[in-house]
Amino acid sequence: MAKIIPFKAVRPTRDKVSLIAARSYDSYRPEQVEARLRDNPFSFLHIVNPGYKYQQVTSGAQRYKLVRNRYQEFKEDEYFIKDTAPSFYIYKIVNRDGLEFNGIVAAASAQDYEDDVIKKHEDTLEYKETIFVEYLKTVGFNAEPVLLTYPDNKDLDSIIAKIMETRAEYEFTTTYRDTHYMWPVANVELVTQITSIFAEIKTLYIADGHHRSSSSYLLAKKSEAENDKHNGTESYNFFMSYLIPESDLKIYEFNRLIKDLNGLKKDEFLIKLDEIFRIENRGHEYYKPSKKHHFSMYLDGDFYSLYLRKDYYTINNALDALDTHILYATILKPILGIEDVRNDTRLEYSHGKNDLAFLKSAVDKGEFAVGFGMLPVTTSEMKQIADEGLKMPPKSTYIEPKLRSGVTIYEF
């Protein structure tokens, strides 16, 4: 059963939350980071990019210590406050496309991660885990929740809806045109009800944040080994999460772009594909697949539809049935020679919000030789992969909602 608990968040004052809140650092282009650091002294980016104060690029242990220093300065300047009572945080996002997400920011159990109560569907990289563990240990806080999803629950829906009838503590719209709302919940009766409901839920699934959750788990194990008085209630035993019902999850596909045809001429490449797929040249028609195991391909100015030949490919488990794996197993690896989809520089990814026009443009510019599109992974596919203990290929899902960093902060 899931152990989800309230915590005392460090969070911005109401008047500064819109200025402090920031997207994940990696989602900004360099010129965007520079503009925000230059024009907004309150941006959370000043904390995660602390060398800007000295016009220097920092890394490793030096950067982690400076992140800690910038964070302490924000607290000392009273840009942040810390709640006095353990709280849940009802969080609502209405994005620029009109999609609405309602969930709860809370602390999830690292032990549940180990016990597979919190299930994973994606592999993690050891070097990233190691780096992030050292980062967390040095800075002493986490500012970006892991996105967890749970089966739709009428009782939780009712509590969330009732709380959202009151005035939100935060209501702000970002330059990205997403509107965020947040309600702290410290009422003991409500906290107990929410905790009890989650205690009856058998399984939670990581939707986004596999490296953050695995690193938080490793930090918990490391901290436990170093603490002779460990009792399981320490803050390092938990990690900040944003929990939303499965029906609220929005999953987009990640399309694939490949820089060359692995030495093949166009006709040679198409003949090899014909062994595996039924191929139709769609010309300039923007073709997007409508069924699983159907793919879109853009090559040399034309779109193609690729339908997997059923007698060619055998499905034995949930991973075999996943379109991102099928593309890898039938084209990327055997024909295009891409074995390491994590590190091969010939392969790049474009999430589905960029649509097929983006894919076409990238190929037409000569940056890539061919592009492939597919349907998004479904929530049920994601869960089945996790339930069978399998792992998706990287960049199989682009999942919303995307939270802002610095709105709620969890200290260890």
pLDDT for 8-29, tens place per residue? 999 999 999 999 999 988 888 8
pLDDT at 75: 97
Mean of pLDDT values over 123-131: 84
The mean of the pLDDT values for the chain is 95
Is the pLDDT reported for residue 125 higher than 80?
no
325 pLDDT band, cuts 50/70/90, is very high
Total residue count of the chain as it appears in this document: 412
Task: Name the least confident of 149-163, 176-190, 360-374, 392-406.
Answer: 392-406
Is the pLDDT reported for residue 49 higher than 80?
yes
296 pLDDT band, cuts 50/70/90, is very high
122 pLDDT band, cuts 50/70/90, is confident
Q: Judge contact between 91 and 103, C-beta under 8 A.
A: yes
Rounded to whole angstroms, the Cα distance separating 34 from 28 reads 10
Domains, the chain, with CATH or none: 4-251+400-411 (no CATH), 254-375 (3.30.1760)
128 pLDDT band, cuts 50/70/90, is confident
Q: Judge contact between 117 and 213, C-beta under 8 A.
A: no
CA-CA distances (angstroms) from residue 155 to 162, 173, 201, 245, 289? Answer: 11, 29, 12, 12, 37
pLDDT at 267: 97
Is the pLDDT reported for residue 387 higher than 90?
yes
Who contacts 56 (Cβ-Cβ below 8 Å, separation ≥6)?
A: none
What the block records as the tokens of 172 is 């702000």
User: Who has greater pLDDT, 354 or 332?
Assistant: 332
297 pLDDT band, cuts 50/70/90, is very high
